[in-house]
Each structure stands twice: as structure tokens, then as C-alpha cells.
């Protein structure tokens, strides 16, 4: 039985519960905020318009309102850029578990501020709440995967990482439903979107206090007995087996020293892993998923769908993303990370060319058949992206570097995530008004994917099951 357990890629109950709690405080909330401003966009824009009028005594034009709203949406990711710079400091000085607790408390405060802004009709307070929320989400997104990976046996890291992705995609579906105008996505009820999240964050913060710290952090702190108990808890092994894992797999305390934010770029091994992980994250951001998540309903309405039909179609698209992550969980350990990443980037690029073609054709002809072809192609794109590059990009960086480089590498990956999303969301609507939606989509989401595919094809190694050479280092392709 012991051999069967060791060969299984499925995580144990304790590790699964920890992954659920960490994901609810991190990736789930991140996904939730990707979506809620989409179905409820009209309600939020009316809130901004009324608040601006109350403060300044004049109304914004539609173009000014749309630009202002795109900036408010993107400010969340400006906050994540600031938060990304704090990942290493928080994880080093507080440990993974305490840092996650701080992040959850910060998120709860930010959400409370958003609720207050509704009753005060203050778009400035709402904007500040999104900025603070971005800082907290960056901490949770950067430290959470490190914590779970350090607690997981190598054999099930892919599955456990993708299970957190499943929770993320499930919250995308949940957000698409609760933010419908007929539910909470309207002028009177949108504050419930944040009240629901506040309750969830309070529960997550309480439950997380019962989880042990990750074994490597306890080792670094010189708490050998607690590190052993942590391994027993998360790996589901005996005391003797845990002692063996500590002596053979853990780096001795005196040798463990986290690399600095720029130091990680000066060492060849850590630089390669960091750059490759950041490239995968960049590819995910410029796949088009960011814009589809943020503006799907507007894109669907432009194909001739009514507001209600577009909102329900958006729920369907979000459900497809859940199917995608389930597919990824089934194939990631069988096929490995490299083939899935490359296939995902290539498939997204092809789908984006098709999306451009159907967008352009519908814009010129108004043919409803082309509009439905566009909807179908977006669904195919979502399925490809969410079964490959989208979930893998969140933990690939951690697998490509060793423990001492992981905090700095995660910081860089989250900086890329934040910068890319904020730039895209700030630019998409203004560029769409200037160049038109089809041309904007083609320019933003095809050339970057072509570059990333070529770069990763020649550089990206396989990391399945922590695949390494005898010296403990990943064999990069350019070294073969």
C-alpha cells in the first residue's frame, strides 16, 4: 500500500484542504475580480458617472466615462505591481503562512472600503479600494503557490497546482452569475458582490490559522521538529519517513539564503528559469484571455446579441473555462508542461487570427452567421487557453527555479502579470475607439504569441515530477 501511495499523483486530504483554503484567499478572489466588472459594467459606469457629477458638478461624455472606467478597472493591476515588489520581503520576514494571513486581512479591508464607497457614492474611494486590493492580491497570488508547492510532494505538484486553477475557474463562473444585472450586477445591489467576498475572506483568514507552516520555512527557522510534523501532515507519511525526507530532500539551513530581486537575474540557472517563467506568464497575459474576461459581454453585444443574451453567453464561456482546467488536470502529468505550454500558445495564436477575421467580417457585413462563428471561436479559444497556458503559467516559474530563487522569481512573474494586465486593460478601449476592435485585437494578441512560441520552443525544458539532472539542476535546452 505504501508503494501505491507514493506513486499516486493525487494529493492527500490535508494537502487538498490547504490548497482549497489558500486558493480561496488568492486565485479565487483574483478570478472573481476579473469578471464582476464585466456583467455589471453598466451599473459601475453609472456609479462613476453619478459620483463624478456629485463631486465636480458636470457630466462626463460617454468617451470620457469609458476611458475613466477602463483606468479604474486597470488600477487593480497597478496595485498588483506594487504588491509584487513586496512578495519577497513579506515571504522572507513573515514566512509563507503569516504573509498569506496579512494578504487576506488587507483584502478584507479593501473590500470593506469598496462597500463603503457605494454608500458614500464616491468613485475615488472605490478606485483606492481597487488599488489596495491589487497589492493584497499580488501577495496572495505570489506567496500562495510557493506555500502549496513547498508543502506538496513532487509527484503531485502538477495536479495540486491545477486543482487550485479549478477553484479559480469555478469562481470565474460564480462571478459571471452573481454579477448578472438580474442578480447583484445592478445599480442598487452591486455592493453585495463585495459583501459576499468579505464573508469569504473572513472565513478563509480564520481557517488558515489551523494550517502548519511549510516545511522549508520551518527548516530555515531552525524548527526541525515542527518541519518534520509539517511533512507528516501534508505528505501523509510516518515520522520515520518524514525524517528521511528532511535529510534527503531539504536543503540544510545554513545553505539556504533567498536570492535578491536582481541577484536572481545575475546567476545563470536562476536567470534562465525566471526568464522562461516570466515569458510563459507574458504569453498568458497577451493570449487575449485578459480582454475576453474583462470585456466579453461588450464583444458579444457587438455581434448582435441582446444584453441579456450576451450576459448568459458569458456564463457559458466561463463554464467552458472550467472544462478546460479539468482537461489540464487530467493531462498535465501525462504529457508534461512543455508540450502543453507550446500547444496552448500556438493554438491561442491561431484562434486569435480567426477571431480577428470573424470580427472584421461581421463589422463590415453585419452577417449574423459571422457573429455566431465569432462566439464559437471565442469558446474554442477559451478551451485551449484554460487547458494549457493559463493554469500552467501560475506555477511554472516555481518549478523552473530552486527554493532560494523562488521568492524573487515569483516577484518577477507577478510583476509581468500585473504590468501586462494593467497596460492591456488601460489601452484596449482607447485603441478600439481609434483603430477598431478587429485591428486592435490582431495587433495586441498575435505578434506577442508568435514571439513567445519561438522563444519557448528553443528554450523551455520539461519540469514534470520535478524532472532534474543528477546534480539537482534542471537541464535547460540550450545546455544540451
User: Residue 57: its pLDDT value, please?
Assistant: 84
Q: What CA–CA distances, in Å, run from 101 to 95, 201, 213, 233, 412?
A: 10, 10, 12, 20, 22
Give the contacts of 418 (CB within 8 A, at least 6 positions apart).
77, 78, 79, 80, 81, 83, 84, 134, 138
User: Residue 3: its pLDDT value, please?
Assistant: 44
CA distance 72 to 187: 17
CA distance 462 to 232: 29
pLDDT tens for each residue of 2-19: 444 445 566 677 888 888
Q: What CA–CA distances, in Å, run from 402 to 25, 150, 160, 377, 466?
A: 25, 11, 19, 39, 10
228 found inside a domain: no
CATH of the domain at 457: 1.20.1250.20
229 found inside a domain: no
User: Residue 246: its pLDDT value, please?
Assistant: 67
Query: What total of structural domains would you count in the chain?
Result: 1
246 found inside a domain: no
303 found inside a domain: yes
pLDDT tens for each residue of 394-404: 778 878 887 77
User: Residue 257: its pLDDT value, please?
Assistant: 64
Range of the domain at 465: 8-211+257-479
227 found inside a domain: no
49 found inside a domain: yes
User: Residue 212: its pLDDT value, please?
Assistant: 87
Is the Cβ–Cβ distance between 392 and 280 less than 8 Å? yes
Is the Cβ–Cβ distance between 165 and 394 less than 8 Å? yes
User: Residue 470: its pLDDT value, please?
Assistant: 35
400 found inside a domain: yes
CA distance 271 to 273: 6
With a cut of 70, list the residues of the chain below it in pLDDT. 1-11, 154-155, 157-159, 161, 239-240, 242-257, 294, 463-480
User: Residue 250: its pLDDT value, please?
Assistant: 43
41-56 and 62-120 are packed helices; what angle lies between their axes, rounded to 10 degrees? Answer: 80
454 found inside a domain: yes
Amino acid at each position: 500500500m505504501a508503494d501505491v501511495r507514493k506513486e499516486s499523483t493525487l494529493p492527500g486530504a490535508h494537502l487538498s484542504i490547504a490548497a482549497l483554503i489558500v486558493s480561496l484567499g488568492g486565485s479565487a478572489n483574483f478570478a472573481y475580480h476579473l469578471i464582476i466588472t464585466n456583467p455589471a459594467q453598466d451599473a459601475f459606469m453609472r456609479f462613476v458617472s453619478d459620483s463624478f457629477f456629485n463631486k465636480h458638478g458636470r457630466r462626463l461624455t460617454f468617451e470620457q466615462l469609458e476611458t475613466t472606467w477602463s483606468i479604474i478597472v486597470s488600477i487593480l493591476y497597478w496595485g498588483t505591481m506594487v504588491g509584487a515588489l513586496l512578495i519577497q520581503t513579506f515571504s522572507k520576514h513573515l514566512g509563507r503562512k503569516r504573509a498569506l494571513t496579512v494578504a487576506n486581512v488587507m483584502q478584507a479591508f479593501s473590500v470593506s472600503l469598496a462597500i463603503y464607497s457605494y454608500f458614500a457614492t464616491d468613485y475615488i474611494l472605490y478606485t483606492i479600494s481597487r488599488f489596495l486590493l491589487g497589492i493584497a492580491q499580488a501577495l496572495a497570488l505570489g506567496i500562495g503557490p510557493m506555500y502549496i508547492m513547498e508543502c506538496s510532494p513532487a509527484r503531485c505538484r502538477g495536479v495540486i497546482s491545477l486543482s487550485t486553477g479549478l477553484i479559480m475557474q469555478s469562481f470565474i463562473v460564480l462571478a459571471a452569475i452573481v454579477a448578472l444585472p438580474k442578480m447583484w450586477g445592478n445599480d442598487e445591489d452591486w455592493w453585495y458582490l463585495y459583501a459576499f467576498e468579505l464573508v469569504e475572506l473572513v472565513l478563509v483568514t480564520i481557517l488558515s490559522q489551523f494550517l502548519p507552516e511549510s516545511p522549508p520555512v520551518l527548516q530555515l527557522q531552525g524548527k526541525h521538529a515542527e518541519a518534520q510534523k509539517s511533512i507528516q501532515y501534508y505528505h501523509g507519511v510516518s515520522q520515520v519517513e518524514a525524517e528521511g525526507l528532511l535529510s534527503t530532500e531539504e536543503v540544510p539551513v545554513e545553505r539556504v539564503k533567498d536570492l535578491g530581486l536582481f541577484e536572481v537575474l545575475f546567476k545563470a540557472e536562476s536567470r534562465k528559469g525566471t526568464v522562461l517563467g516570466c515569458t510563459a506568464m507574458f504569453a498568458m497575459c497577451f493570449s487575449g484571455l485578459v480582454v475576453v474576461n474583462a470585456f466579453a459581454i461588450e464583444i458579444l453585444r457587438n455581434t448582435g446579441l441582446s444584453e441579456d443574451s450576451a450576459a448568459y453567453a458569458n456564463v457559458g464561456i466561463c463554464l467552458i473555462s472550467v472544462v478546460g482546467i479539468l482537461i489540464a488536470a487530467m493531462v498535465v502529468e501525462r504529457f508534461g508542461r512543455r508540450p502543453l505550454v507550446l500547444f496552448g500558445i500556438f493554438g491561442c495564436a491561431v484562434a486569435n487570427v480567426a477571431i480577428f477575421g470573424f470580427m472584421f467580417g461581421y463589422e463590415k457585413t453585419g452577417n449574423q452567421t459571422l457573429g455566431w462563428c465569432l462566439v464559437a471561436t471565442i469558446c474554442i479559444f477559451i478551451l485551449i487557453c484554460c487547458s494549457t497556458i493559463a493554469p500552467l503559467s501560475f506555477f511554472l516559474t516555481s518549478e523552473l527555479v530552486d527554493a532560494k530563487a523562488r521568492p524573487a522569481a515569483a516577484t518577477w512573474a507577478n510583476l509581468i502579470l500585473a504590468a501586462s494586465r494593467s497596460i492591456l486593460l488601460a489601452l484596449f478601449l482607447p485603441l478600439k475607439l481609434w483603430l477598431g476592435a478587429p485591428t486592435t485585437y490582431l495587433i495586441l494578441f498575435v505578434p506577442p504569441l508568435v514571439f513567445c512560441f519561438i522563444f519557448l520552443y528553443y528554450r523551455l525544458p520539461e519540469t514534470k515530477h520535478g524532472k532534474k539532472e543528477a546534480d539537482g539542476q534542471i537541464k535547460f535546452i540550450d545546455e544540451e
